[in-house]
Amino acid sequence: MTKNPLNLRLSEIMSLRGSFEFYRERIDRYNDKLNAFLQVSNPSDSQKEGFPYALKDNILALGTRTTCASRILENYESPYDATVTSKLNNKGGIILGKTNMDEFAMGSSTENSAFGPSRNPWDLDRIPGGSSGGSAAAVAAGLAPFALGSDTGGSVRQPASMCGIVGFKPTYGLVSRYGLVAFASSLDQIGPLTRCAQDAAEVMAMIAGHDPKDSNTLRRNLDFNVSIESDVKGLKFAAPSEMLNYPGLDSGVKERFLSMMEAMRSAGAKVEEISIPSVEYAVATYYLIAPAEASSNLARYDGIRFGSRSPAEDYESLINKNRDSGFGEEVKRRILLGTFTLSATYYDAYYRKALKTRRIMAGELNRVLNEYDYIVNPSSPVIAPRLGEITDPLAYYLMDIYTIPANVAGLPSISVPIGLVDGLPVGLLLTGKRFSDVSLLNAAGGIEDLSPSYENGLAKIPERWAK
């Protein structure tokens, strides 16, 4: 190889011979430190031509195990290809391996993996974010040119932000969920983790589109075969005051964000502080809807057909024991929360109310987005915490406060790295109206131009991995 793939955009890597071996070698060399991959694939020599990518371990690929980082699916072999997997592979994609995650995508740190946490390439003592933390760490350390993750409440964008790369959640329904192990069906969306907006567009061009196997995919086709223009001039951004004044917002992050706003203004953008009152209820709404759907989606893991069987006296205790030993703490917490929320006694008080709040919030966001091009805020209120530093689950839930509104309303949203605070990446989040995905990527490209995180159009890799 004459060129170093770490300095190349995806379009160039796609036609570069030998790139699979290049990344594969890096995985062999570095994965012990990062625990980004749970398993690596071993294609035959003839199968190695094409472009490599990493797949979050909740997306099925025939011939791999799909564990969702859970004991209960530890030995589950995918009996079919997810739609995104077969689309990528048909274009010449080769799976490097399956990446680590929070169990069943529940978490914001990748600490909730049954197979140990992944680590942040910028500081190995810190979390990479989550739940697509393995995918983010893999791309940020240059172990894969891009990875797919799933974003239910920010699980692509938040780890991208904490690892200093781009994470994109498309409009709900643009990418098929067929073959994505469901967490919360009405919120889940597969999205790419890449090193620039242009690469995200390249991946989207390959995976987006109506899928007859997913009834929620949209019949509308967006053209992602575009060259991302780098300009924020003339664009109108709305910064919600509720988000800027959120007490949990780290001062360093806020400062970095505000100076980025200044840079955007200087480049000809209009940035205004506005109010979206309902976003304060985003986290509460999300933690009613997502666990409710999860409690139902995860019911199939009863230890009868998947997972290990525990000895038991009767059917009920068999299920209880199988599920108790198969699921981790956070998954059990959310299943219980969801079961409670949906129970006949509390359905009206909680679930129905959450659906109503969801509609109100979507309405407010859409109203703002009719007036402004994009909503802008930090991707996460904090930089990556240390492993084990946060023990209160609620504190983690609140870390998704900025990313959740896009899932609740089904809007496209992207996190772009905008520099470091205390040596750790900070991300900026842009959210657009439904179907504005392509122009949203363009706006992200404009911000990349102003961001100190980029070198030659690609998000920088921490120096220790750049060799």
Q: How far is the CB of 184 from another protein (least distance, A)?
A: 8
Chain mean position to CA 378: 15
Give the shortest CB-76-to-another protein separation in angstroms.
7
Cβ closest to another protein, residue 306 vs residue 435? 306
Closest distance of CB 57 from another protein, Å: 11
Residue 293: count of CB within 10 angstroms of its CB: 21
Q: Which is nearer to another protein, 32 or 314 (CB)?
A: 314
Residues belonging to the active site: 56, 131, 155
Contacts (Cβ under 8 Å, ≥6 apart) of 201: 224, 225, 226, 228, 438, 441
Query: In the structure encoding, which two tokens stand for residue 449, read together?
Result: 């131009």
Least distance to another protein, CB of residue 283, Å = 19
φ, ψ for residue 413, nearest 5 deg = -155, 145
Residues in the chain: 467
The SS3 call for residue 311 is: coil
Residue 319 beta carbon to another protein: minimum distance, rounded to whole angstroms: 6
Give the shortest CB-43-to-another protein separation in angstroms.
22
**Residue among 164, 287, 201 at smallest CA distance from 191:** 201
Return d(Cα 98, Cα 109) in angstroms, integer.
Answer: 17
76, 116, 82, 86: which is closest to 99 by C-alpha? 116
Which positions touch another protein (CB under 8 A)? 58-60, 66, 68, 73, 76, 78-80, 82, 177-182, 184-186, 212-216, 292-293, 295-296, 298-300, 302, 304-306, 314-316, 319, 339, 342-344, 347, 351
User: Looking at beta carbons only, is 297 or 379 nearer to another protein?
Assistant: 297
Q: Helices marked H in 131-180 — which ranges? A: 133-140, 157-163
Nearest CA among 128, 141, 138, 208 for reference residue 168 = 208
- In the three-class reduction of DSSP (H, G, I as helix; E, B as strand; rest coil), residue 367 is classed as helix
Nearer to another protein among residue 352 and residue 464 (C-beta): 352
Element of type H or E holding 324: helix 315-326
- Pick between residue 82 and residue 420 the one whose CB is nearest to another protein: 82
Toward another protein, which CB reaches closer, 177 or 195?
A: 177
Query: Which among 105, 97, 93 has a CA at the least distance from the CA of 129?
Result: 105
